[in-house]
Amino acid sequence: MPGRKAPEATRREQILKAAYEVALNRGIDGLTVRAVAARAKLSHGLVHFHFKRKAQLVSALLDWVLATTTVLHVPAVIARIPRARDRLRALLRQEMDRLAKEPRRIRLFFEYWALGTRHAPTRARISAELDRYRAAFRTMTAEMVQREPGEGAGVTADGLAAVAVSFVNGCAVQAMIDPTHFDIDQYLAAVEGIFG
Amino acid sequence: MPGRKAPEATRREQILKAAYEVALNRGIDGLTVRAVAARAKLSHGLVHFHFKRKAQLVSALLDWVLATTTVLHVPAVIARIPRARDRLRALLRQEMDRLAKEPRRIRLFFEYWALGTRHAPTRARISAELDRYRAAFRTMTAEMVQREPGEGAGVTADGLAAVAVSFVNGCAVQAMIDPTHFDIDQYLAAVEGIFG
DNA sequence: GCGCGTATTGACCACGCGGTCAATACACAG
DNA sequence: CTGTGTATTGACCGCGTGGTCAATACGCGC
């Protein structure tokens, strides 16, 4: 029954939500226009009406995934911690907790990542997003290097920030691979055991 | 021109090699029977002759990827290091080096991983392979826990081994994402800066 | 009540895919 | 030289895909 109106924004959101669900269940390859339409209980023609090309749909979904995954929020409780190093550790812990709770979205994020390897625009957007994420850590690591010099030779603020991001990534991957056997406390204790 | 004979094993290897190259360039989704045949300069019918189903081809490629990626080799130089912790560190460094040099194969490995999320048999095989990889670390971490007790509360040999694998994974991902900006020395120094 | 524009549908198209199969070229035993 | 079995080809089928488009139902200003 054509003609049933719905505000443009609403329909787009509805379709995007359906696309997200399909991508979670079937992966990016399984993200077909028809599957999304079926999930949203719409005709595939309508999906093409709101997103002229499939690429636009995939791109819009990437926007959403990035906006909800790689945004670093520093709560006041952490910001108040005096020592930079402790603050960084607390922040890492927060991010581990946050990402470990959403292994499915993380998996989707990595699928986009793999896709980016063969698709320059996607790669550029993910890369830019990770740069911002790293920059958010950098202010903290800069303070660390400044206040605690001589700790390690050749350790720069950039290097520390890169490691922080990489560390979070590693944990996210681990949580994605084996969500049940991932214990954050064990993990942190073991890291200090090896490198402390 | 039909009839040109080649030993069964040779043809299979030739096709698998072509499949690997296609998978590296186009990803697992892009791994089509026809693309593999074209790469190997054969007809697609022949590919179906040697691998009855596409799934068999994909599975055989996974075998090859696992056999060349998640096998831990401990060289004599490292085995001779007296302190378990130093030995573990050296081993981690070796694995970081090794995996950082092959970001493309790592990417393929992760693609299989993502695929395993939706395909139980694949998941089981990857999981079993990682268990073996972790077990190889475990003998070392067990010694560590035994000889250096009281270092950290609640740190078990299993926990340490899991972290070792996760650590290597994190580095592999980092090297895959940004091969040019990944500096192992910086990385290790930064880890000690944060957790030391 | 009447148009007008927008949202919506489903039929339709071309394409590439995985898979099947009869025909055929070759190696080799006799 | 001939027969037999295996390796190889290319035509073919059915399917699901992304995408287009005419037809149409609806909301709304007049």
Q: Residue B83: its chain A contacts at CB < 8 A?
A: none
Q: How far apart, in whole angstroms, are the C-alpha atoms of residue A39 and residue A172? A: 28
Residue of A nearest to B26 (CA): A118
A-B Cβ pairs (cutoff 8 Å, strict) = 154
CA distance B57 to B52: 8
Each residue of B182-196: pLDDT tens digit?
A: 888 888 888 888 887
pLDDT in the model for residue B4? 54
Q: Note whether B102 contacts A: Cβ–Cβ < 8 A.
A: no
**Mean pLDDT, residues A120-143:** 93
pLDDT for B153 beyond 70 = no
A13 touches chain B (CB under 8 A): no
Rounded Cα distance, B186 and B174, in Å: 13
Instruction: State the average pLDDT over residues A106-110.
Output: 93
> If contacts are CB pairs under 8 Å, which of residues 46-75 in chain B contact chain A?
none
Mark yes or no for CB contact B194/A26 under 8 Å.
Answer: no
Q: B186 touching A, CB under 8 A?
A: yes
pLDDT tops 90 at residue B12: yes
Mean pLDDT of B154-160: 85
For testing the chain B interface, which of A32, A117, A148, A176 should be mutated: the one with the most B CBs within 10 Å?
A117
Asked whether residue B19 carries a pLDDT value surpassing 90, the answer given is yes
Contact yes or no for A186 and B29 at CB 8 A: no
pLDDT at position A150: 61
pLDDT of residue B151: 58
Q: In whole angstroms, what is the distance from residue B160 CA to residue B154 CA?
A: 10
Query: Tokens standing for A82?
Result: 């005096």
Q: How confident is the model at residue B8 (pLDDT cuts 50, 70, 90)?
A: low
CB contact under 8 A, A154 and B189: yes
Distance CA A145, CA A158 (A): 10
- Residue A185: its pLDDT value, please? 87
Is A25 an 8 Å CB contact of chain B? Answer: yes
Q: Which residue in the set B89, B114, B173 is minimally distant from A194, CB to CB?
A: B89
**Contact yes or no for A165/A138 (Cβ under 8 A):** no
Distance B55 CA to D5 C1' (A): 28
Q: Which residue is nearest to nucleotide D9 (CA to C1')?
A: B2
Provide mean pLDDT across the span A95-124: 93
B79 pLDDT above the threshold of 80 = yes
The chain-wide mean pLDDT, for chain A, equals 89
A144: pLDDT confidence band, cut at 50, 70 and 90? confident
Chain B, residues 130-149, CB within 8 A of chain A, namely 130, 144
Whole-structure pTM over 0.85, yes or no? yes
- B166/A187 CB distance under 8 A: yes
pLDDT of residue A2: 46
Query: Which among B177, B184, B187 is the top mutation candidate for probing chain A, defined by the most A β-carbons within 10 Å of its own β-carbon?
Result: B177
Mean pLDDT of B24-51: 97
CA distance B61 to B66: 9
Q: Both tokens of residue A79? A: 């910001």
Q: Which carries the bigger pLDDT value, residue B62 or residue A180? A: B62
Q: What tens digit of pLDDT does each residue of A38-72 get?
A: 999 999 999 999 999 999 999 999 999 999 999 99
Q: Which residue has the higher pLDDT, B67 or A173?
A: B67
In contact, A65 and A28? CB cutoff 8 Å: no
CA A184, distance to chain mean position in Å, is 18
Residue range A112-129: average pLDDT?
94
* pLDDT of A153 higher than 90: no
Share of chain A above pLDDT 70, in %: 92
Instruction: List b or e across B91-106, with b for residues whose CB sees 16 or more CB atoms inside 10 angstroms.
Output: bbbbbbeebbebbebb
